[in-house]
Amino acid sequence: MNATTLSAPKWAREIERFIPIKPQFLLYGNVNDIYPAEMDGSVVTLGMADYLKELLVKLGYSLVAMFEPMYGFSVLSGDIEMFREASGESAGKNSTLEKAADAAARMVSCASFRTALVFRFASRLEDVNNEDDSLKFFYRMFRLSVDATPRIVPGENGGGKRPLYNPVLWIMDKENDMPPWFTLDNPRVRVLPVPRPDNETRNRIVDAVSPKIDGFDEAPPETRRTNLSIFRDQTTGLLAGEITAIAQMARHESIGFSRIGDAITRYKLGIQDNMWEKLEPGKITGAEEFLSSRVMGQPASVRHAADILKRSRFNLSGSQFSRFSQRPKGVLFLAGPTGTGKTEMARAITELIFGSPTHCIRFDMSEFGQDHANQRLVGAPPGYVGYDVGGELTNAIKQNPFSVVLFDEIEKAHPRILDIFLQILDDGRLTSGRGETVYFSESVIVFTSNLGMFEQLPDGTRRQRVTPDMAYAEISRVIGGAIDDFFKYGINRPEILNRIGKNVVVFDFIREDTATKIFVRMLDNVMFRLEDSYGIKISFTKEALSGIRDLVCADLSMGGRGIGSNMESVLMNPLSRRLCELPAGFRGDLMIKGIAESGPGWEIEI
């Protein structure tokens, strides 16, 4: 058996190199993963304990034992009698920390044969033992690291010409799980980080597990190479054990090798209903018509949004950069005057794709003006209050990756928070404070902004840069330039704008014809509510309707929201007063004949 080759991980090669001069090793980091090893001419994957066993056996160690909290001693290589001889202990659960320290001292000084002791899950030693016992145990092991000497065992390693330590190897989650004084300025302990698998390791594991997936052997050579590339590329950042789990899932769920990308997506996202696959072709074909019915007077933005949905339906977003792009399904940056339908566009897209606006995850970025507010999105780092809760954004995407994510008024967020979007827009993923990775590859990202509407003058006052009397082309040019200046010079983040690309859509002001359509829709909503809830049917004379419309739509500077606010004061307030004067339980028809100004408000004639 041979567990180390030229491609063995660096930490394994360091153990082999330093075992003649270091009595103890601390391994931390990615220690609960699996690692590829060549055994009997083929590549297999081993857990950390088994990998260390094979490594130490190859180096000439006759006995490799392991101690685990609560489970005591076990023998990885050798036999029980050798373990009793070397340690004076028996394998099994009845092993305290005091006995573990005694056994370690005997094994380190064993001169009959080479021994090695592995402390597995050593980060949990303090969790299952009281603090005093743990401190005493670590002190004894610290003293043992200082006093240990390398030994020559006759008959081993070329006739005993090479002295080696009988090592103690610690497997821990983090380096600081060991008391700081144990490793600080202690040249007798070699601290070895175990990183996540690199490209070579991942490729070897992919090559090893792929032949076990249905359809691999039958696939033509070119198809096989293509799907191997998909498997390697889309598992970037995953652990070796996760790659193996993907292959197991593909076998268990009868996903052929030709659909390995589906298995990877299913593993990353969990069991989800893929809304993109369920989209009816007719829905996407009629996207412009549907969006136009919800967002009025914005033909350019509607067309752009519909184009994004159409390419997302066929998974083309980002495909020009990579055949295996994991970028979000679509990105929209909606800018322009307030009240023109930017937020409504995000809700309309959500309803079109998912059938309900509840799949829209909205963040008001004015709440993220402080540089530390990013902890709300991704979660607090380890050691801080709220670390175990996670972040609002990462939790929401983990629960439902098929979502429209709306970041409202993005310019009000702190520039450091905007750095989060670099990873989301480029890699389609984000890591929470708890270390969990969530994926945005099935999401649509929508930003809204009022950038470019105003500029700050030297005297501190603000001046409106675009006005309703300007043509749309001029409005688009001015606001587009302001957005460029904000990212390039205002916050010095041109790379964010580069990732948004040509997906900046500028909304036009609400014009008169559009204002009339919005007025009619809002009025229909009011009349429907009264008739549906109270059985009161409202109608208008032609003159009254025209007069109310003129008053409600007199000022369009605040867009659709302004129209709604005007309708409250012009119609809904006086109408409510008159309705309160009707007999209790009244149901029937009411005709509004006119409207007149009365003091500070308005009065309607019924």
Least confident piece of the model among 19-23, 35-39, 99-103, 354-358: 354-358
Share of the chain above pLDDT 70, in %: 92
Tell whether pTM > 0.75. no
Tell me what the pLDDT averaged over the chain comes to. 86
CATH of domain 278-506: 3.40.50.300
Which of the two residues, 383 and 411, has the higher pLDDT score? 411
User: Cα 387 vs. chain centroid, distance in angstroms?
Assistant: 16
pLDDT digits (tens, 9 = 90+) for 306-354: 888 887 776 666 555 455 567 888 889 999 888 888 888 988 888 888 7
Residue in the structure block whose two tokens are 């930017």? 342
Q: In the structure encoding, which two tokens stand for residue 28, read together?
A: 């931390």
pLDDT digits (tens, 9 = 90+) for 417-433: 888 888 898 888 888 88
Is it the case that residue 153 has pLDDT exceeding 80?
no
CB distance 179 to 140 below 8 Å:
no
3-state secondary structure of 277: helix
Residue 559, sorted as left (phi over 0), alpha (psi -120 to 50) or beta, turns out to be left
Which pLDDT does position 141 carry in this prediction?
95
Q: What is the 3-state secondary structure (H, E, C) of 156-214?
A: CHHHHCCCECCCEEEEECCHHHCCHHHHCCCCCEEEEEECCCCHHHHHHHHHHHHHHCC
What mean pLDDT do residues 192-196 have?
Answer: 93
Q: Write down the number of H helices and E strands in the chain.
A: 26, 21
Distance between CA atoms of residues 448 and 503, nearest Å: 12
Which pLDDT does position 68 carry in this prediction?
92
Distance between CA atoms of residues 299 and 228, nearest Å: 44
What mean pLDDT do residues 458-464 have?
Answer: 81
Is it the case that residue 384 has pLDDT exceeding 50?
yes
How does residue 405 score in pLDDT terms, banded at 50, 70 and 90? very high
Which pLDDT does position 461 carry in this prediction?
80
Which pLDDT does position 602 carry in this prediction?
81
Is it the case that residue 370 has pLDDT exceeding 90?
no
Which pLDDT does position 481 carry in this prediction?
92
CB distance 90 to 114 below 8 Å:
no
CATH of domain 512-605: 1.10.8.60
DSSP-derived letter for residue 469 is T
Which pLDDT does position 31 carry in this prediction?
95
Phi, psi of 407, deg, nearest 5: -110, 100
Which pLDDT does position 118 carry in this prediction?
97
Distance between CA atoms of residues 606 and 604, nearest Å: 6
Share of the chain above pLDDT 90, in %: 33
What mean pLDDT do residues 389-413 have?
Answer: 87
Is it the case that residue 255 has pLDDT exceeding 60?
yes
pLDDT digits (tens, 9 = 90+) for 113-138: 999 999 999 999 888 778 788 899 99
Which pLDDT does position 402 carry in this prediction?
83
How does residue 3 score in pLDDT terms, banded at 50, 70 and 90? very low
Which pLDDT does position 1 carry in this prediction?
39
Distance between CA atoms of residues 114 and 149, nearest Å: 13
3-state secondary structure of 473: helix
How does residue 179 score in pLDDT terms, banded at 50, 70 and 90? very high
Residue in the structure block whose two tokens are 């004894």? 140
What mean pLDDT do residues 44-72 have?
Answer: 92
List residues bridging with 335 in a β-sheet: 449, 506
Distance between CA atoms of residues 292 and 337, nearest Å: 18
Which pLDDT does position 203 carry in this prediction?
86
Is it the case that residue 156 has pLDDT exceeding 70?
no
pLDDT digits (tens, 9 = 90+) for 269-319: 775 556 666 667 777 788 889 899 889 888 888 888 888 888 777 666 655
Which pLDDT does position 146 carry in this prediction?
93
Class of domain 10-194: alpha beta
What mean pLDDT do residues 590-603 have?
Answer: 81
Phi, psi of 355, deg, nearest 5: 80, 0
CB distance 581 to 530 below 8 Å:
no
pLDDT digits (tens, 9 = 90+) for 221-240: 888 888 888 888 888 888 99
DSSP-derived letter for residue 373 is G
